[in-house]
A and B are shown apart, each in its own frame.
Chain A
Amino acid sequence: MAHSFPEEVLEHVFSFIDSDKDRNAVSLVCKSWYEIERWCRRKIFIGNCYAVTPRIMIRRFPELRSVSLKGKPHFADFDLVPEGWGGYVDPWVSAMGRAYPLLEELRLKRMVVSDDTLEMVSKSFKNFKVLVLSSCEGFTTDGLASIAANCRNLRELDLRESDVEDLGGNWLSCFPESCTSLVSLNISCLGSEWSLRNLSALERLVGRSPNLRRLRMNRAVPLDKLANLLRRAPYLVELGTGAFSSELHPDVFSNLSGAFSGCKELRALSGFWDVVPAYLPAVYTICSGLTSLNLSYAAVQSSDLVKLITQCQNLQRLWVLDYIEDSGLEALAESCKNLQELRVFPSDPFAAEPNVTLTEQGLVAVSEGCPKLESVLYFCRQFTNDALFTIAKNRPSLTRFRLCIIEPRTPDYITLEPLDAGFGAIVQNCKELRRLSLSGLLTDRVFEHIGTHAKKLEMLSIAFAGDGDLGLHHVLSGCESLRKLEIRDCPFGDKALLANAAKLETMRSLWMSSCSVSFEACKLLGQKMPRLNVEVIDERGPPDSRPESCPVNTVYIYRSIAGPRLDMPAFVWTMDEELALRLS
């Protein structure tokens, strides 16, 4: 008895299903649903560009309009992945240029993008709308010029935190006068000083973009230009200023203040490089509407920060430097009852002595005062188990908790004990915790707690912690939802890795650098697990030029159906099948 709907009906139903998880579930129901679903899937997210090939993607999903790709592992952000490791997007764009002429959106993170690739993007996809390059590198403003010149319907150009070589040209003028479709422009990462021609090109571009809602400029855009820009874009929802400094002049201030008050839709502010505190009050009129405030470049004193922050009662997200100090965080906890996310960055991470009074007290105060707090990133120099107990008790709703005590292996500064119990309380109470970064003095006990309690944990970052293999074993055998595990400078070795080899296929990736994993174990793992790519990254030359028991510098393991990659540089070794056959 078959009550099957016609394909068109099913397709129509499926068009309401957006999430990848649900789409994947639909495709598993039966063969015909699999077929129908794959032809009508429009969006894909690939968390590791080496897990699959462009050919496989195109073969299964012939009609994609939106592709998101991630390349290098997270620790690349901290210079732990050597240059030339990989993550090149060019093969993807070449293949998609042929297969997806109707592609509209490309979102890349930690990938290497060249100017040629950007030119290919700009010319291959007639209806291209969205380009997001997050923490990417390898391209210059010439590549941006191609995008500007050729993408007639561009809606979004977002270069967040990418490393762009600014050739100082005039790329903004390459947007034709007929381009009026921009909704979002983020060029905050661009480095060098700008010519007046670029600035006026920006003004004209903003002026002819009635749909512009997100504009993040770079440091080079001077404050005295900001008022004009704001007046041309009064419907902005998100703004990133340039440098927030100028010679003190009442006209500049009143002009700026007036311009801000005209922007009644503003919900997010960022930028604020080189802040002259006297100019901060220019934004006061729109503070009550702000939900997101990024002051992480603003090197100003706590009192100035507090004056601003306490006006933002609807704040949901705050990024700030540790200049805010404990006192400022206490004020935050009093005023901003809707706060969901707090990030406190270090103003002087390499100073031997603390330069500000930012301690565990600040975070405890926020955990007490902000009932909706769920996401924390906190750099500081001291912590206690008690403070962690309190935070865990106050905020069982935490989903992301990243604590970075700057000095590795710092104990509880009052009891001088490891912080095992404190982090144990966090994982035990915060049952929805998805992301955790550890620091301070930690033994294998903390990993026992994590393995026992952190059942929803998806991403874990560990550094300078643990006593031996048992620690790693607890994590790999206990954390059922674990997808990404990154470890550096821990005494974890072969045993836990090999004993939990099957677990690795259920995860996206495992990174271990400066640990005690031997080349022998890497080879064994690579041989026995064909669906894992086991990459040994070592600068000292071929691993087989040293004893097999010698620890490798870095091993990066990820699941893949693409097989060994073909673009490995000289300092990366992997066990390919041929070699595996010869050795087994």
Chain B
Amino acid sequence: MSSEADNSSMNFDETALTLGLPGKSRPSVGEKSGVKREFSEMVDLNLHKKQNNDQEHDDGSQVEVTEPAKSPASKAQVVGWPPVRSFRKNTIKSCKYVKVAVDGAPYLRKVDLELYTSYQQLLTSLESMFSCFTIRNRMNDGKPMDLVNGSEYVPTYEDKDGDWMLVGDVPWKMFVESCRRLRLMKSSEALGLGNRHTPCYKFPF
């Protein structure tokens, strides 16, 4: 079964392969493989976008990205790479992967709480992780949220007993130990939880 025969019967002449570079209308396709594309960064954990990330590295080394929350010894992490299953990561070294949900964002993420030493580091990292989103606002008929006003989110977590608590109430180590999962709740929904004086973290959407 030759793909060329099927090619013509489906009228794919326009897409017939040539040996030249693919069409220029998609600038990302012609680049060297050393470059990360914008859209893939949206689903990568813990990456800050560099302003000039179209540098090419002939030696094939990864574009180095800085990440304030990480210790200098470990590099920025790409989702799902290296391909090691999470149950292995959790048992080999001290690792505490928990799921992170954000109200309005369809995908869940996972973060390793052991990578951080303070609440501030964790929250800064979450901000950068979710700042690339186009969050849907149901009130606006699905149009992207007004970026100027942004929105207030309250970080909450489920503890070992299954209770939902506000992030920041207990000492950091105790939090890492008891946290089962995280949820960034819209502040309007979080009114029932705990202490009004707990700071709301404003995400620059």
Q: Chain A interface (Cβ within 8 Å of chain B)?
A: 75, 77-80, 82-84, 161, 163, 189, 219, 273, 296-297, 299, 321, 345-353, 379, 404, 406-411, 416, 418, 437, 441, 461, 463-470, 473, 476-477, 488-491, 493-496, 498-503, 506, 513-514, 516, 518, 528, 539-541, 549-551, 553, 569-571
Contact = CB atoms under 8 A, between A and B. Distances in A.
Contacts of B93: 347-348
Contact of B3 (A299, A477, A513): A477
Interface stretch (B79-87, B118-126, B182-190): B79-87
Contact of B82 (A404, A493, A549): A404
A21 to B, nearest CB: 20
A209 to B, nearest CB: 27
B59 A411 contact: yes
Give 4 closest A-B pairs by Cβ, nearest first.
Answer: A78-B80, A514-B40, A409-B60, A441-B60
A513 B43 CA distance: 10
B121 to A, nearest CB: 16
B3 A351 contact: no
Given A498-B12, A514-B39, A491 B134 contact: no
B88 A296 contact: yes
Nearest to B3: A500
Given A411-B60, A495-B15, A77 B3 contact: no
Interface of B: 1, 3, 6-7, 10, 12, 15-17, 19, 21-22, 25-26, 28-34, 36-37, 39-40, 42-43, 59-62, 73-75, 77-89, 91-93, 99, 105-108, 110, 133-134, 136, 142
Contacts of A502: 1, 3, 6
11 contacts: A77-B83, A80-B80, A83-B99, A299-B92, A352-B74, A408-B78, A490-B33, A495-B16, A549-B25, A551-B37, A569-B106
A161 B29 contact: no
Contacts of B92: 297, 299, 321, 345, 347-348
Contacts of A348: 92-93
Contacts of B40: 489, 513-514, 553
Contacts of A490: 33
A281 B121 CA distance: 44
B43 A514 contact: yes
A468 B22 contact: yes
Given A467-B33, A493-B22, A349 B87 contact: no
Given A78-B85, A551-B28, A553-B39, A352 B75 contact: yes
Contact of B17 (A409, A469, A569): A469
A514 B37 contact: yes
A553 B62 contact: no
B17 A496 contact: yes
Given A464-B33, A468-B22, A500-B3, A349 B12 contact: no
Given A468-B22, A499-B16, A571-B106, 4 more contacts: A347-B93, A408-B62, A493-B26, A540-B42
A78 B82 CA distance: 9
A117 B84 CA distance: 29
A352 B83 CA distance: 16
A409 B62 contact: yes
Nearest to B95: A350
A41 to B, nearest CB: 28
Contacts of B17: 469-470, 473, 495-496, 499
B7 to A, nearest CB: 6
A501 B2 CA distance: 11
Nearest to A503: B3
B16 A416 contact: no
Q: What does DSSP make chain B's interface, helix, strand, loop or mixed?
A: loop
Contacts of B42: 539-540, 553
Given A82-B106, A470-B19, A491 B80 contact: no
A59 to B, nearest CB: 29
Given A161-B85, A296-B88, A495-B15, A80 B79 contact: yes
Contacts of A499: 3, 7, 12, 15-17
Contacts of A461: 83
Nearest to B28: A516
Contacts of B62: 407-409
A228 B93 CA distance: 30
B75 A570 contact: no
Contacts of B75: 350, 352
A491 B29 contact: yes
B33 A83 contact: no
A524 to B, nearest CB: 9
B29 to A, nearest CB: 5
A551 B26 CA distance: 9
Contacts of B84: 78, 345-346, 349, 379
B108 to A, nearest CB: 5
B29 A468 contact: yes
A273 B80 CA distance: 24
Interface-centre pick from B6, B15, B36, B85 (highest chain A CB count, 10 A): B15
A539 B39 CA distance: 10
B10 A528 contact: yes
B45 to A, nearest CB: 9
A272 B110 CA distance: 26
A297 B82 contact: no
Interface-centre pick from B17, B59, B78 (highest chain A CB count, 10 A): B17
B22 A495 contact: yes
A469 B22 contact: yes
Contact of B134 (A347, A500, A540): A540
A351 B73 contact: yes
A23 B73 CA distance: 56
A470 B29 CA distance: 12
A325 B146 CA distance: 54
Nearest to B91: A297
A418 B58 CA distance: 10
Contacts of B34: 409
Nearest to A514: B40
Interface-centre pick from B36, B37, B92 (highest chain A CB count, 10 A): B92
A238 B76 CA distance: 40
Given A352-B73, A539-B107, A571-B106, A406 B82 contact: yes
